[in-house]
Amino acid sequence: MAETQPRMLSDLARGDYSFVDVNKNGVIEQEEINNLAKQVAQEEGFVAPDEEVVAFTTRLFDLNQDGKLVVDELLTGIVLENAVDRDEVTVPEDVFKVFDQDGDGFVSRKEWTTPLGDLGANGEAMKDFVFDRVQYLQRQDGKLDVAETRNALSLLRVAVLGY
């Protein structure tokens, strides 16, 4: 049986990070994050961040800013964080394929917006702004190639995660 192509950015990290939602309710509770931070710090031999730092990080990944960190938000943030390497001019093939749903080697506006999920009250406008900005700066043909997708993800990462 053929493996299903991921449709959302969050799908790319689901297998690796599903353990974070300990109680499997779809919401990552502050206590789950605090316990995970302490566990990782102990295993890796460093001082765990204080709960205020962990709370800030939790808010950072609450992409739609509704006060709840759901699994898809965390996973989308993780993929955004890792999808763009400052030393590369492209994006990983698996990330590009999530956007290039029709397999034509380009990302249309519709293909660009869907995999990103809910980015909050201004999320759709932000997605459109990033797409239009990259188009204005580059080929202006209504679609993103691999390099343009990388640039769009870089802009989006700054807008969403702040860095």
- Backbone φ and ψ for 144, nearest 5 degrees, come out as -110, 130
- pTM here? 0.86
Say whether pLDDT at 156 is over 70.
yes
Q: What is the pLDDT of residues 81-96, one digit of tens each?
A: 888 876 666 789 999 9
pLDDT at 24: 94
Q: What is the pLDDT of residues 13-63, one digit of tens each?
A: 999 998 899 999 999 999 999 999 999 999 999 999 999 999 999 999 999
Residues 94, 100, 102: CA angle, nearest 5 degrees: 125
Q: What is the pLDDT of residues 116-146, one digit of tens each?
A: 999 988 999 999 999 999 999 988 999 999 9
Q: Which residues contact 53 (CB under 8 A, 6 or more apart)?
A: none
Other CB atoms within 10 Å distance of the CB of residue 120: 15
Query: 112 with 132: CB under 8 angstroms?
Result: no
* Mean pLDDT confidence for 58-70: 93
Going along the chain from its start, the domains and CATH numbers come out as 8-83 (1.10.238.10), 90-163 (1.10.238.10)
Both structure tokens of 53: 């730092």
Say whether pLDDT at 149 is over 90.
yes
Query: 77 with 158: CB under 8 angstroms?
Result: no
